[in-house]
Structure 1
Amino acid sequence: MPDAMRANENISVMVLGLRGFPNVQGGVENHAEHLYTELAQMGCDIEVVVRDSYQPHDNPAAWRGLRFTRLWAPRKKTIEAIGHTLIGVLYAAWRRPDVLHIHAIGPALMTPLARLLGLRVVVTHHGADYERQKWGRLARAVLRMGERWGMRFANERIVISRGIADLVRVKHGCGSVLIPNGVTLREIPATTGALTAFGLTPKKYVLMVSRLVPEKRHLDLIEAFIAAGLDDWKLVLVGDADHQGAYARSIRAATAGVRNVVCTGFQSGLALRELYAHAAMFVLPSSHEGLPIALLEALSYGLPAIASDIPANLEVRNPGLVFYPLGDVDKLARQITQVAASTRSAGQAEAARQQLAETYRWSAIARDTRQVYQRIKVKLAHAQANIKTGAARGVRK
């Protein structure tokens, strides 16, 4: 069958390496939710294997053209992702999808096993997770091995930033396909229910949205916000920890008794949209990112934003986005003060939104991802045709 005809065939894809979605916090989860709903609209048959303890039990088994399969995962931080992926790979070997798509380098440790079982594997490298502060020495060694095995044994490799593409090329001698995270321009809500619930005034608060993990450096932002001395303003920290530990406790200790710092916990849906829409600015002080979806989300609402000057953040270019030296709390405090004193017209905000949408459109990202899948399927068809041809020649002989 000609390749042009094969391009219109359905492609069955199984997805591994994430907790679940919708309404599950995490950058990979956000990425997958948008990517696979788009791919389902393009005719791909998508089965997402999720971790049972994370997927809300009121989430449906099928959603927006996707199917979810719940599998058990150990609730121990160091083995949760890898243990779940091992079970998922064995399940995939039974289901036999056209493509097994593994997300993140921890789960990618199971790539050689998947290939041994005859599966065709795409691995998306979302970032060098061994640089995250939460991991100990052994966990970091396992993550480095997952990166090495995932990049070297996958049929195709996807990276979400130029920095990761360079890392894969230099460190592992592999090529990759650069397909970034994306963003959706949503209607900006006029409602303020979430603000009322948390005692907030529109355009009088600084927003940060992320999981409570050390590399996000919430404590830098708390210190800088207090130093900025913005009377009648508040700092809003949206997000929670997957595993409660010392870092989450340190944030609670730092905010205890501080009346103008609000910790909302995990938010989604309309409440999160309202918190983005009515913020005065967004701040991302993190020391490690792949390509920050929360920052893209904030910019999609036309918000001014401040981010640390790490390479992944610097790849995002948008009017109103400024950077400061990582860890420089005094500089961050001054920038918060300057942004709070500045004004931005509705026209400027809308122009920034449109520029962002042109660069990070989910429909284009899904199209490029489908092309990666299609390339694998076409290669398989050619290999099978060659085997049949060889067998036929052998019979004739």
Structure 2
Amino acid sequence: MKIVVVGTRGIPNILGGVETHCEELFPRIAAKGIEVTVVRRQSYVRDSLMEFKGVKLLDIATPRRKSLEAIVHTFRAIWMARKLHADIVHIHAIGPALLTPFARLLGLKVVFTHHGPDYDRDKWGRMAKWGLKLGERMGCYFANEVIVISEVINDLIIRKYNCCNAHLIHNGVPIPDIVEDTFYLDELGIEKGNYILTMGRFVPEKNFHQLVHAYSAISRNSCRLVIAGGADFEDDYSRNFKRLAKENGVVLTGFIKGKRLHSLLTHAKCFVLPSSHEGLPIALLEAMSYRLPVLVSNIPANLEIGLNYDSYFKVGDERQLTEKLRKMIQGELRRIDYPMEEYDWDRIASQVIHVYNRLR
């Protein structure tokens, strides 16, 4: 069986939730003897790899403009999939799913993974939101099989499109890589157990600015705020946010993976995710795998994970965020054992392969 994956910026070590999803999932599928090719956006690639853990990598040039790059890249990638005689094209995210009918017209079978209603993100204008909603519709109506990563998304597409046969397959998280060494903490000038951690892209819906406001309202003598991530595209929000963070003594690491990120996850006092929009946040699952106390907004995707009441605050409520964050900082250092069985990537890979086998 030959699978061509489109809709992601690429793998490995490329910022983004879909990218992390694909980096974990497709090597496991390739290890089962399935031929997998991930089509990457050349402008994001910082390596010369042609293969990663058994997954073939194919780079295609696309315009580096957030309103055009996904759709142009997906068109070229689907055309390439036809040339490669793919058995299945696996499209990720609702923007690229706009071209699901095109893939079907070329005679390709399509699996579409819905990672979340991206039209709810603040960064998109009216026309972009319309295009994303249309992409969601095209994916749900024309894909041979639909995968959703959360029950929230499943309920959404049932209500909107009467799409009742989607496969619920969650995001996953790998086994944590505990890093006892504090070399990276020393490099950042932070102390073990004395920092708040969050991670993600610098976009409005992550609400990192609200977290900085809450942090600045708390006595910060012994606790720092560390934000791991960056911006895909520098804009007014990301520039203003970086200035706000610098003014309030926040540690910005930039985009990191591997041992440095694992070190931060190992030694953090707590993890905070104040987002107003998520599909099923891999960053939160990763923090849970490291047994960190977490504080997250009460959006549906976070509520679905089923944390205890004290782990949630009302989305957008900076006052409540501040009070709950203060309690976490003032409390003792602790670790929590969360039930993580359903977020196992090996199990998830087997579930996706089952979906592929339905199309044979």
Name the CA distance, whole Å, in 2 between partners of 1:76 and 1:274: 34
Give the deviation of 1:318 after TM superposition: 4.3
Structure 2 distance, partners of 1:361, 1:252, is 35
Question: C-alpha displacement at 1:57, in angstroms?
Answer: 2.2
TM-score, structure 1 as length reference = 0.88
Q: Which one-letter code corresponds to 2:236 in the other structure?
A: A
Aligned pair partner of 2:12 in 19, 22, 44: 22
Q: Choose 1 or 2 for highest CA Rg.
A: 1
Specify which of 28, 41, 54 is matched with residue 31 of structure 2.
Answer: 41
What's the TM-score once normalised by structure 2's chain length?
A: 0.97
State how 1:245-260 maps to structure 2 within 5 Å: 245-259=235-249
5 Å matches for 1:57-96? 57-58=47-48, 60-96=49-85
Structure 2: unaligned runs, 5 residues or longer: none
Larger helix share, 1 or 2: 1
Aligned to 2:305: 316
**How much does 1:359 deviate?**
2.0
Check 1:283–1:247 CA distance in 2 against 1; reply closer, same or farther (3 A cut).
Answer: same
Could you tell me whether the CA contact under 8 Å between 2:223 and 2:329 is conserved in 1? no
**Offset of 1:330 from its aligned partner?**
1.0
Aligned counterpart, 2:3: 13
Q: CA deviation at 1:344?
A: 5.4
- One-letter code aligned to 1:86: F
Partner of 2:290: 301
Contact 1:230 1:337 in 2 (8 A): no
Partner of 2:113: 124
Question: Using the alignment, how far apart are the partners of 1:66 and 1:372 within structure 2?
Answer: 19
Aligned to 2:205: 215
- For residues 71 and 223 of structure 1, the distance between their equivalents in structure 2, rounded to whole angstroms, comes to 41
Contact 1:236 1:262 in 2 (8 A): yes
Secondary structure of the corresponding residue to residue 124 of structure 1: strand
* Counterpart selection for 1:326 from 315, 319, 327: 315
2:269–2:333: 8 Å Cα contact kept in structure 1? Answer: no
Matched, 1:203 2:193: yes
Q: Does 1:359 align with 2:342?
A: yes
The answer for the alignment partner of 1:146 in structure 2 is 135
State how 1:165-204 maps to structure 2 within 5 Å.
Answer: 165-175=154-164, 176-204=166-194
Amino acid at match of 2:170: P
- What is the distance in 2 between the residues matched to 1:28 and 1:193? 29
Cα distance in 1 between the residues matched to 2:331 and 2:122:
34
Moved more, 249-258 or 115-124: 249-258
Q: C-alpha displacement at 1:319, in angstroms? A: 6.1
Structure 1 residue aligned with 2:40: 50
Letter in 1 for 2:151: R
Q: Which amino acid aligns with 2:216?
A: I
For residue 256 of structure 1, report the CA deviation from its aligned partner. 3.0
CA distance in 1, matches of 2:229, 2:309: 24
**Does the 8 Å contact 1:206/1:280 carry over to 2?**
yes
Tell whether the 8 Å contact from 1:161 to 1:178 is kept in structure 2 after alignment. yes
